[in-house]
Amino acid sequence: MPGRETALAGGENDQVDGTARVQGFQEKDVAAASATGDGAGTDGGVWQAVGLTADDATWRVTVAGPGPDAPGRVGVVLAGRSSGARLALPVEAGDDTLVAEVRRQDLAVFGPEVVDLWVHDDAGEGVRRRVSCAELGTGPLDGAGTDGATWYATKHGNLSVRLAPPVGSSRLRPTLTGARFVDGVWRLLVDGAGVRRGARLVARGRERTKIAVSVPLRSGSPGWEAEVTTEQLRAFGGEVVDLFVADEGETGDAVRVAADDVPVAVTSADSRTPYATRKNMASLRRKTAAEVIRDAGAFDDAHYRAQGPDLAPDEDPVDHYVRVGAAQGLDPSTMFDTTYYWRANPDVRAVNPFAHYCEFGWKELRNPSPQFDTWWYWSKHLTLPDESVAPLTHYEQVGRSANLSTRPERFPSRRFGTGQVLPTDRAVRRVCLFAAYDVDGIVDDYVVDYVRELSRFADVYYLADSAMAASELAKLEGVTKGAWAQRHGEYDFGSYRRLAERVGWDVLETYDELLLVNDSCYLLRPLDEVFARMDARPADWWGLQASTRKHASWDPHRAPISRAALDVLVDRVEPKQIDHVHVSSFFMAFRAPVVRDPEFRRYLGTVVGQPVRSNLFLRYEIGLSRWLVTHGHRFDTFVGDVYPYDPAGNGWYFRLLDQGFPLLKRQLLATNPFRVKDLGTWKQRILAKVPDAQVDLFERNLRRVVDPAALRATVDDVSAVTDRTEPETPADLLTDDEFRVADRRTVRRPELWVFPVDPTTQELTGNVRAVFEQVRQEPTIRKVVLRRDTPIDLDGANVEVVALASPAGQERLLQAGTVLVDVDLRSEVLYPVSGEFHNIVRLGSSGRDKRLEVADGENPADDARYRALLSSSKVETLALTAASYPMTFHQVWNTGSPRTDFILGDEPSLPADLAAELADLRATLAGRRLLLLVTDDDLERDHGLSSEERARLGEWFVQHGCVLGIRSRRLPGSLPASSPEGIPFLDLSGVTHPEVLYREATALLTDVSGSFVDFLVTGRPVLTFVPDVAPVSRRRVADLEDVFPGAVTRTFDELWAALDGLLTAQPDATYTFKRRLFHDHLDGASAARAVEKIRDLTEVYGVGKPFGERMA
């Protein structure tokens, strides 16, 4: 269209009649136009229309400017008030005027509306002004009205033209004449002038998105037809979408589409509907909630009325539900629970719940109630690819009367068999269906290596969802049984389906195991360990790892869920499909019970292309796992625990490598979907765990197939990578204030763990020592022991001993990623180390040997410094959580007390210094039994025992060949020479490691000390003598009679009676029960569990408390 210049943006404002909304065409530096679109500019003078003439084809408007040189720097345009279109007019400039030509044929872009005449400076870049026509008169201008176009002077004296379609003539602008919705596609019919061959229909968001979707207009009968999919419209969200027609290749040249009586034939509910605006322009709007519900056909009027709402006989139940019923918790169907849906889907609480389910929820496989499983009904009674009818609609219309099942049977784990056992008398026969895709149609080198490794264990069949040359497929000769390339666009599951059809199910079922593998991962290490481990396990199917989104949102560490809880997970019916546990589909194996199951074949055979990739994930990846589980097929995984979200693509990945995980998922490096920190060092991190990994090969593929802009935010992001060179050690000790400043500025070393010595013994002891011994020979952990005045000689891999009270000691503390303390941070490290910047883990109890009492003067800020505490049992976890605010339950790790490994472990595994102390103790005992007395008392009191009672005790010790070993809080050698009088005793307060005493003691005698807790792991008898301790104390976590597994004595007679048979007593049911209150772990592996939790914390979630972790 010659000279036409229209605006695509702006749409229209249905509330302000006649206001032109033209992109870049609002008045500048002038008074605002009136509600009629009128108003003359005053800046720089007035432009006057001084002449208006017409012939058969053209109007000529003569315009005089405010100055003699004005005509040389302006243009003239017509702007439609309703349509937003504008038309640049050809002009001839004179000495002090210019003449603009208006061709009748070009006015078709405006249609029936008022069009205003404007001038603009500098070819559209400067001030725009309305053209006055005061010199031409007022009202309709003589001789200028013809063919439905009337030039007139507005009430403000400006020049405009009113256009109307001539009687009996064709439409002047493109007009929407019909709309049909079929299979997710809107077919829009357009007729009228302004539509030329090659034109396109443009849909544009009116207000917020400003997104434009352009589709071709094809010649139809009658007029023109365009197809717009619901997926294309999804990008607009909830805003109104306006329709334009644009010439091919002219992105800024578009005309608004008008609307007559638009006939709309909708065969399936869609989120939008065409409508005519108040100015008769065509747009698409979101349906109202009531319209969505009615179109779905799942509303049960009778059930709704039966709930007794305040509903007039003639009132529409759907309108009532939308207006007040949902807010009152009324249910629109027996299978839709309004309250349940809102609670299960907090992200949609702002909208009507039933309307959301009918429009979106069923496609996202959300459940409308606990009684109706959308995925189950859809996959069992319908066909997953078919979206022509919603499952709940089908149930209301067909399924209810047919008594179709609405959910799988409860507790599928109870129907699991024993699992298929692979043959051991011959080699296992496997077949592998390998799905690939390459954007450039290349069989990459990493794929050849991966397929070659698989071919060592299976017959491999390869299919690429790409167009590939025969020379590329030739790279796989000798390592595959067949290789093909076919572009189908159905992702990996589409390739699996096609490969199964090519090979044939009759052939596949002759193998012991069927593998489904894709090329989305790089192979890091050989697969021997994977197959050796899984061949030995009975299972109907297995994968490398399982995951679920169902991790408590209040768990700041998102800990993996134990394999022991797997049955509980698979038995749950979650409100949303995405929350179900599933096995990742990049490597899955199926054995005979699954391969021969016709239901499995049918499920895999329903795979078709999905417009949204998330649909494929929900319906086929999670859906396949659920399908197999609900049909009673037992499964297993190479990695034992169930991990949060996608562990191969989040921070847990590098911990999976420690368990032998063989793959690297490309998505982790390409998009980093879970924002894993420090991916710029991915090659170094992988090589530290898998030294032979071909990381350079992987990087070449990564840089070929991934957008460089995406990599700049992932593997090329070095913002978190720090200079690893050691800074100079300061010459002098820092003050506390200087230390705090340095703590904020120092770069942390995640691999550096600090182990402070016991401030009393000045030795590395107890829980801290047990954790140190667990990692002593681990080269990837840099271990720094902070000593006091006493020299310490500890060797191992990457071990350093540094004086705490030294600049070097302060420096190591500042750099430490992990700081391990036994009881109290400040007393053990001396300096104000901040939990904001380090992972500070407390390994011991909150009060030294005072587990039964609350410590004096507790301050929540003290516990806030720790990122985690250790406990020994579920009960202690709850007690510590309650006593350690603001720590949360998930920050108290039930690993067991690491020091108990020295009590329970084999003697040869003891460190040399503990073994030496044990040998010295045995030499001192000289074959006598040891009754160990551990007390918090200073032994200056006689506890009310008379000389006769002490003598009787002495005789008892001699008679039983026993000696009383005393360990108190007093310093070694401070016991009185006569204490305890008449009783053979040893002063054991000088023994550095009390675990040695617990290993050797026959029984334990104590007062209110909590030392008996650690001794209980031995299963040997315990006895307490508390002559002056109140039975009940408000300071105690628990009273002795309730938790102490032995006799609680308060008089000598009670003590004497309890000694009878003490040395030979065996644990009874009471002892065992009360021991379980304190200890869940008696396997001597508590330190190993603690180390794994610390490494999880550091490697997965980083160093220092994140903002979202609760602090005092």
Distance, in Å, from the CA atom of 548 to the CA atom of 647, rounded to the nearest integer, reads: 10
Residue 35 CB neighbours (<10 A) = 11
What's the chain's average pLDDT? 82
Fold of 736-900: Rossmann fold (3.40.50)
Looking at domain 175-286, does it have CATH number 3.40.50? no
CATH class given for the domain over 415-681: alpha beta
Q: Which residues pair with 160 in a beta bridge?
A: 116, 152
Q: How does DSSP classify residue 681?
A: G
Distance, in Å, from the CA atom of 322 to the CA atom of 336, rounded to the nearest integer, reads: 14
Sorting pLDDT into bands at 50, 70 and 90, what band is 661?
very high
The superfamily in CATH containing domain 910-1083 is CDP-glycerol glycerophosphotransferase, C-terminal domain (3.40.50.12580)
Residue 95 confidence (pLDDT): 75
Distance, in Å, from the CA atom of 51 to the CA atom of 942, rounded to the nearest integer, reads: 125
Q: Are 482 and 473 in contact (CB under 8 A)?
A: no
Number of residues in the chain: 1112
Q: What is the pLDDT of residues 970-1019, one digit of tens each?
A: 544 444 444 566 788 898 888 999 999 999 999 999 876 678 899 999 99
**Residue 80's closest CA among 118, 114, 128, 131?**
114
pLDDT at 805 over 60: yes
Q: What is the pLDDT of residues 354-413, one digit of tens each?
A: 999 998 899 888 999 999 999 889 888 887 667 778 999 999 999 999 999 999 888 888
Q: What is the pLDDT of residues 1020-1070, one digit of tens each?
A: 999 988 876 555 454 455 677 788 898 888 888 989 999 998 998 899 999
Same fold, 175-286 and 736-900: no
Q: What is the pLDDT of residues 4-59, one digit of tens each?
A: 333 323 333 333 233 233 333 333 333 334 334 444 443 446 888 888 888 877 88
Domains of the chain, by residue range, sit at: 1-169, 175-286, 291-399, 415-681, 736-900, 910-1083
Residue 724 confidence (pLDDT): 45
Distance, in Å, from the CA atom of 1112 to the CA atom of 1104, rounded to the nearest integer, reads: 15
Distance, in Å, from the CA atom of 1070 to the CA atom of 1041, rounded to the nearest integer, reads: 12
E-strand ranges in 171-211 read 175-182, 185-191, 200-205
E-strand ranges in 1031-1103 read 1047-1049
